[in-house]
Structure 1
Amino acid sequence: MAVTYPLDILTGFPGWSTEFDLLQRQELSRTAGGTTIAKDMGTPLWKAAFQSRVLSPNTLDMWRAKLNSLEGSLQRFMGRPMSRCYPIAHPNGRGLGDVSAVTVARITLNKVVTLNGAPADYKSSIGDYVQIGRHLYQIVGLDGGVEVRPHLAPGTAVGNTVVLVRPSVPMIIVPATLSTTADAGTGRGTITFQAIESR
């Protein structure tokens, strides 16, 4: 079966996301009077760092091959924070119910979303992630809906599907950050790499 992109490389990844956060694309300037001004140079991008546990030689080689299928930084994979595969209030999906039909019901101020079709027992928490289309958002507030960052992407509309389980975003490996070094004596080793959102 042919490899298709963006690849779901993180399903079964024997490790963790040691970092998953927004990279703010901002510049600072100062006036003659000493006032510092921040300027947005674009929508923030998600950045991440991933690290595996120590792997046996055979498992290490298998994961080297999977990562090589990304052709360095040329191909995309679906990246996500490994700590937030499920909402905080529903560890391992406990009590979550069917979330396959959740959609955007209302949008306010381009950053607050009301959800439609969520199960009665579903509870949002600050720190949860949601995926709308190919964009990933983190819940930062719960007043009048779920307030997210970054702000909603252009084209986000009422009726868009909302993913609550394993929400992801297309990413690429940051060049020269992939390391799969093995111990010379045992052949065992770890995998580490950094990634950044790639729309």
Structure 2
Amino acid sequence: MRVNWSNFTPSNFENFCAAILEESGFKNIVWHGAGGGDRGRDLTASKQVAHLSSLIENARWIVQCRRYLAKPPTKSEIHDWLVACNEHKPDYCLLIVTNTLTSDTKDWLSQEQAQFKFKIFVWEERDILRELARHRRALAPRFAEVYWAGSPVEFYQVKQGEYSFFCNEFEEVGFVTFNCYSEAEAREKIGDFIDFLRANDPFVE
């Protein structure tokens, strides 16, 4: 699956992240508004953690959502965010980014964890795409721009009488070829096949 993150404004991306958290079981989700959030907080939320069947913790989360179109966040940017999070005394902090941290930054972040009492998590682009696939049925009506980035269906002729396609809405459909007498017939068959995939929701766990 491919997503054009430039389709989002920063505020829309934060609301989009809140929707993913909601579908992932988080409760009491609060968006702290445009303009960079409130001292490191774009979102706050809670989620129950069952340590034992009779011992359930209602953990507090702080979430920072960053729609990076070019370079990933630097160590300095992440450090400043962690220091800001520390003021709120959360149990967990989650950084959501639309690209991938460098290996050096990941190694540094593992060492940085020892300086903070809260647990640090990062969702990179591949993690966001995984959640998009899991929760497609719930998220697609609300965030159509994610599943329809660019041309929704790339249609092309393999050779005479054979047609194939790529549909950005789905994470993986394999290689599908339709044997047809004409392009019009191929488009009709491909349209029916995509409708079948949507109706059967094959990628929701």
Assess same fold via TM > 0.5: no
Bigger radius of gyration among the two: 2
1 or 2, which has the higher strand percentage? Answer: 1
Q: If the TM-score is normalised by the length of the shorter chain, which range does it land in?
A: under 0.3
Normalised to the residue count of structure 2, the TM-score between the two structures is 0.24
1 or 2, which has the higher helix percentage? Answer: 2
RCO greater where, 1 or 2, for CA within 8 Å and sep 6 or more?
1
